[in-house]
Amino acid sequence: MTQWTEDPEGGRARGPTGLARAWFEVLVRPRRFFTNGIGPSDQAPGLVFAMVVVLVEESVRFALVDDAYPIIAGSEPLSAALWLGVAVLLVAPAAVHLLAALQTVLLAPFAPGRGGVSETVQILCYATAPCVVAGVPDPHVRSLVGVWAIGLYVVGLTVRHDLGLQRAAVLGIVPAGVAFGMGFRAFHAIGVLLRQWYII
C-alpha cells in the first residue's frame, strides 16, 4: 500500500483516489493519518474532503427524509440542487473556518506548541469522515458516527497541537459539539435514543 509522505504539501494525492484513500486512512489509522496526512498550509484537499462528505450526507438525507428541505416551485430536483449547493458550497466551508477560528482562540492560552489554523481546519475536515452516512434517518447511525467524528477530532488535536488526550477533549468539545453534535445532528439522535430507552 502506498504510504502517506511525511510532508504532504504539494505531494498528496488529489482526485477520487486521494479522497478515498484519505477516508480509509482517517477511519482506520487516524493517528498516523493526522501525523503524516496534513500539510501545514495545504487546506484545499481537506476542504474538498469535507464538502464531498456533506454532499453525500445531505443527498442521502434529501432522498430518505420527507420534508428535509423546503420544495421550491414545486420541483424536487430544483430544490435538491439549490439546497445541496448551499450546504456544500456555502455552509460547509464557512462553518469549518469559523469553528477553526474558535478552536484557535480556545487553544491559544493552553497549547504553546500548537500548530497553525490551517492544520485545525484540516483536522476538522477529515474528522467528518464517519459522517458520510449521517444522512441515514436512523438515530443509532447518527449517534455512532457523530461520537466517532468527535473522537477523531480529539485525536487530531492531540497529534497536531501537542496536547494530551484529556486537554484536547476539554479544549475541543465546543467546536466538535457544534460541528458533529449539531451540524450532523448527533445530539438530536442521542436525545431520541435516550427517550426511547426511557432515560430522559
Q: 173: number of CA atoms within 13 Å, CB side?
A: 6
Angstrom distance (rounded) from CA 64 to CA 77: 14
Render pLDDT for 33-52 as a digit per residue (tens, 0 to 9). 999 999 888 899 999 999 99
pTM of the model: 0.90
Which residue from 7, 198, 24 is spatially nearest to 126, judged by alpha carbons?
24
Q: pLDDT band at 66, cuts 50/70/90?
A: confident
Per residue in 140-181, pLDDT (tens digit) is 999 999 999 999 999 999 999 999 999 999 999 999 999 999
pLDDT on residue 13: 67
Amino acid at 6: E
Could you tell me the three cell numbers for 94?
464557512
Q: Are 149 and 84 in contact (CB under 8 A)?
A: no
Share of the chain above pLDDT 90, in %: 76
Q: For residue range 123-132, list pLDDT tens digits in order.
A: 999 999 999 9
Q: How confident is the model at residue 12 (pLDDT cuts 50, 70, 90)?
A: low
